[in-house]
Amino acid sequence: MLQQKPPGFDPFSAPTEVMMEETSTPTRCGMVAVIGAPNAGKSTLVNQLVGQKVAITSAKAQTTRARMLGIALHECDGAAVQMILVDTPGIFAPRRRLDRAMVNAAWEGAEAADAVLLMVDPIKQRRHELEPLLEALATRPERKILVLNKVDRAKKEPLLALAQELAGKVDFAEIFFVSALTGEGVGELKDTLARLMPEGAWMYPEDQVSDASERLLAAEITREQLYQQLHEELPYDSAVRPEKYEVRPDGSIEIHQQIVVARDTQRAIVLGKGGSRIKAIGEAARKELAEVLGVKVHLFLHVKVLENWAEDKELFEEIGLDWVR
């Protein structure tokens, strides 16, 4: 089960070293920021590196909104290595306050990292978002690694040509070709990342896979189902607000969440005919939550129309974003 942090805990300010059991095995610990254009496969890669789901994925771009830490363990050269993976929102040209908060979270995730992974989708490329990102990365001091995704689908010659072109724009220390979906090439990438981590005590317990509270992760899983089931019907003018997270006496977990939309027409879409759509979303989210948390889950959803929710400071904080002007 994921472990919860106390209220107000900030893993980016001053993480506390974890006291390990006395052992002769040396330890390493460091931070890896995973950045890229929206929908490049960052969250899927982080899940692969960790070995289980810690970040939501969707065919829709910009599904990751807040910095989510995944914690991967590895053995390398006789050392036990802990890699703190910062799954950042996709970096794009921000227009709304919500957009600015997402991009701000992405760049903050790259600060003080021991390595920065640039994830690129060689098929879609999203050049209008990739080029500014390359320009910004070129002058950053962190060790930079290029990861070209979807090798299971991309054609070899154009893929190699793209790698050569991008390497001419940024001084990448390493280039990897992977499939975040199938795991192809991820093992070699994980080996390299482990070797880059500095010697030091672990920051998190061995059994912890994410810094996200179970309360926030539960909201993210529901939001993923919202995107997956409604496809293009529902725009990004929606959020999932955690309201209640309580362990019942029998050990099961009761979760109440509020789906926030901007218009009455969107509320009707989420509810579906006779409540059929929200019921399907709830059932799918509840099933996945039970698998992730390892206990029976009682999930209760309701929809609220809040026209200017993207300007609500309290809601921003509840979904894990910093308030930006």
**Residue 273 belongs to domain with CATH number:** 3.30.300.20
- pTM higher than 0.75 for the full model? no
Residue 245 lies in a domain: yes
Same domain, 42 and 183: yes
Same domain, 192 and 220: no
Same domain, 46 and 163: yes
Residue 6 lies in a domain: no
Same domain, 241 and 188: no
Residue 72 lies in a domain: yes
Same domain, 187 and 125: yes
Give dist(CA 226, CA 229) in Å, integer: 6
Mean pLDDT, the chain, integer: 76
Q: Is the pLDDT of residue 212 over 60?
A: no
Query: Which range (74-88, 102-116, 120-134, 145-159) has the least confidence?
Result: 102-116
Q: How confident is the model at residue 324 (pLDDT cuts 50, 70, 90)?
A: very low
Residue 189: domain span: 27-196
Q: How far is CA 125 from CA 40, 122, 246, 268, in A?
A: 8, 5, 43, 35
Residue 287 lies in a domain: yes
Q: What is the CATH number of the domain that holds 120?
A: 3.40.50.300
The pLDDT of residue 53 is 63
Q: Residue 71's beta-bridge partner residues?
A: 84
Give dist(CA 3, CA 11) in Å, integer: 14
The pLDDT of residue 236 is 55
Q: Is the pLDDT of residue 299 over 60?
A: yes
Query: Which range (102-116, 137-151, 166-180, 299-313) has the least confidence?
Result: 102-116
Give me 56's structure tokens.
């939501």
The pLDDT of residue 237 is 65
Residue 4 lies in a domain: no
Residue 91 lies in a domain: yes
Same domain, 32 and 84: yes
Same domain, 134 and 67: yes
Same domain, 108 and 255: no
Same domain, 87 and 133: yes
Same domain, 127 and 236: no
Same domain, 70 and 98: yes
Residue 201 lies in a domain: no
Q: How confident is the model at residue 92 (pLDDT cuts 50, 70, 90)?
A: very low
Give dist(CA 64, CA 308) in Å, integer: 21
Question: Which residues have CB under 8 Å from 265's CB, separation 6+?
Answer: none
The pLDDT of residue 300 is 95
Taking 3-state DSSP, the helix, strand and coil percentages for the chain, each rounded to the nearest 5, stand at 35, 20, 45
The pLDDT of residue 8 is 41
Contact assessment for residue 143 and residue 170, using Cβ atoms and an 8 Å cutoff = no
Short-list 36, 68, 70, 77, CA closest to 51: 70
Same domain, 154 and 239: no
Q: What percent of the chain has pLDDT over 90?
A: 30
Short-list 127, 121, 157, CA closest to 45: 121
| R_g over Cα of the chain | 20
Residue 250 lies in a domain: yes
* Sheet with 297-305: strands ordered across: 238-247, 253-261, 297-305
Q: How many domains does the chain have?
A: 2
